[in-house]
Amino acid sequence: EKFGPYQDAMVHGSDDLYHSMLSTSLNIGLLDPLELCQRAEEEYREGRAPLNSVEGFIRQIIGWREYVRGFYWHQMPGLAEANELNANRPLPEFFWTGETDMRCLSDCIRTTREDAHAHHIQRLMVLGNFCLIAGIDPKAVQDWYLAVYADAFEWVELPNVSGMVLYADGGRLATKPYAASGNYINKMSDYCGKCRYKVSQKTGDGACPFNPLYWHFMDANRARLESNHRIGRIFATWDRMGEAKQGEYLASAEKFLDSLVPAREGWARN
């Protein structure tokens, strides 16, 4: 009954947090998606589950999972090679080891390594958001998601990563790139309070890396994104900062990106 209110929340140590953990059984064919949705509807009609939780659950299956499957078959094979934003940075090694001082990423990678699972906001707005604003190569990100999650099959993984996570398809699946600074993660989780980086600090060595990376991403992709009606107005905020402040953001982002260690070849890690 708490899925609706908390489906987008992230809490350290609560890896499942009211999520059903049914996606693997669904994707390998052990469960029928229609039967699941009908059962959830029955729970609502019998007064055993609130509307927002049931609606969210059914929407994730019919409104998204089934849509993504159709999108995959409609867009392939070209979708696998899409790279609209020309992202080409290697996947960092810490995606395999979890050894990073960014607490949000470390925690999401930990649960991924331990359980072969992370819920949708961890995948999209922490792991995926980092890959988006850091300009990580889509093929490397796709391979990682496909390797680490038990529910990952190409028909569901590829559209979500290419379209929803990385905007590599140029907006065929999602109407905007889901880029966010550390402020979003702080609002939706308890990760930031004990992180080495300060989410309130925008630039410099102690700043949350998501903050300068966000503006670095927006600046680098301005020509493609400024006409997007959902995010285009953010560039007015960027312009009001002035060259000095902009330079601080860009320099902080470049310094952080230069510090990233590329992943070693192969998928096996201790």
**DSSP string spanning 25-64?**
HHHTTSS-HHHHHHHHHHHHHTTSS-HHHHHHHHIIIIII
If asked whether residues 28 and 158 sit together in one domain, one would say no
Distances (CA, A) of 207 to 123, 182, 190, 198, 262: 22, 9, 17, 5, 22
Q: Region 13-23: what's the mean pLDDT?
A: 72
User: Does the residue 53 lie in any domain?
Assistant: yes
Over pLDDT 70: what percentage of the chain? 93
Q: How many CA atoms lie within 13 A of 86 on its CB side?
A: 4
Residue 24 half-sphere exposure toward CB, CA atoms < 13 A: 12
Q: Are residues 57 and 103 in the same domain?
A: no
Mean pLDDT score, 143-164: 96
The verdict on 162 and 64 lying in the same domain is no
Tell me the mean pLDDT in the region 140-165.
Answer: 96
DSSP-derived 3-state class of residue 76:
coil
Q: Is residue 91 scored above 80 in pLDDT?
A: yes
For the ranges 15-19, 201-205, 260-264, the lowest mean pLDDT is seen at 15-19
120 and 206, same domain (yes or no): yes
Among 80, 104, 119, residue at a domain's last position = 80
pLDDT at residue 268 in the model: 55
Q: To which residue do tokens 């600046």 refer?
A: 219
Within a domain: residue 190? yes
Q: Is 122 helix (H, G, I), strand (E, B) or coil?
A: helix
Whether 267 maps to a domain, the answer reads no
Structure tokens at 33: 């998606």
Say whether both 131 and 255 belong to one domain. yes
Spatial contact of 57 and 20, defined as CB atoms under 8 Å apart: yes
Contacts of 32-41 spanning 24+ positions with Cβ under 8 A: 33/61, 33/62, 33/65, 33/66, 36/61, 37/61, 37/62
**Looking at the structure, do residues 189 and 154 belong to the same domain, yes or no?**
yes
Domain carrying residue 54: 3-80
Q: What's the mean pLDDT when you consider all of the chain?
A: 92
- Please check whether residue 255 lies inside any domain of the structure: yes
Q: Is 74 a member of any domain?
A: yes
In angstroms, rounded to a whole number, what is the distance separating the alpha carbons of residues 151 and 166? 19
Number of domains in the chain: 2
- Shared domain for 61 and 151, answered yes or no, is no
pLDDT for position 3: 58
Kindly state the average pLDDT of the residues 184-204: 94
Whether residues 122 and 157 share a domain: the answer is yes
The share of the chain scoring above pLDDT 90, in percent, equals 80
Tell me if 89 is assigned to some domain: no
Q: Does residue 140 lie within any of the structural domains? A: yes
Residue 265's pLDDT band, with cuts at 50, 70 and 90, is confident
Same domain, 75 and 119: no
The reply to whether 102 and 62 lie within a common domain is no
Of 80, 107, 136, which residue constitutes the final position of a domain? 80
Answer whether 257's CB lies under 8 Å from 134's CB. Answer: yes
Identify whether residues 175 and 110 lie together within a single domain. Answer: yes
Q: Phi and psi (nearest 5°) for 21?
A: 65, 30
Domain with residue 21: its CATH number is 1.25.40.80
- Which of the listed residues 20, 50, 80 is the one where a domain comes to its end? 80
Confidence (pTM): 0.92
pLDDT at res. 18? 61
Residue identified by tokens 């966000």 is 214
pLDDT classification of 241: cutoffs 50, 70, 90? very high
Per-residue pLDDT at 31: 94
> ω into residue 77 within 30 of 0, thus cis?
yes
Tell me: do 152 and 233 sit in the same domain: yes
Burial group, residue 217, by CB count within 10 angstroms (0-12, 13-18, 19+): buried
Residue 189 in domain = yes
Domain of 164, CATH number, reads 1.10.579.10
pLDDT tens sequence across 26-74: 999 999 999 999 999 999 999 998 998 899 889 888 888 999 999 999 9
> 202 and 155 in contact (C-beta within 8 Å)?
no
Task: Answer whether residue 16 shows pLDDT above 80.
Answer: no
